[in-house]
Amino acid sequence: MSDTPEHTQDSSGLSPAQRLEAPNTRLIDASIATINDMETLRACIAYENQHQQRVPILQLLEKRANELRSQDDDD
């Protein structure tokens, strides 16, 4: 598998494509909610910007980024 954002995998084993190309929005929401590191989040943002550019999905990713940053601040 190549090391492009489309194929980069995090510890959960899901690629950005698998997270963001789910068959319904509830699955996409859940897959974004389970992102626990900024590297995975950045890969998902890059994938979305490169492929679909869906504003609601990008907003969910931004919200998750803010949550991760606030968790880092609390630690």
Closest to 48 in 3D by CA, of 2, 3, 1, 15: 15
At 32-66, the pLDDT tens digits run 999 999 999 999 999 999 999 999 999 999 999 99
DSSP assignment string, 7-26:
T---TT---HHHHHS-SSHH
Q: What is the pTM of this model?
A: 0.80
What's the pLDDT score for residue 13?
A: 82
pLDDT-derived band at 6, boundaries 50, 70, 90: very low
Task: Indicate the domain borders of the chain.
Answer: 16-73
Give the integer Cα–Cα distance in Å for 55 and 29.
14
CB of 18 closer than 8 Å to CB of 43: no
| The total number of residues written for the chain in this structure | 75
Count Cβ atoms below 10 Å from residue 8 Cβ, excluding itself. Answer: 19
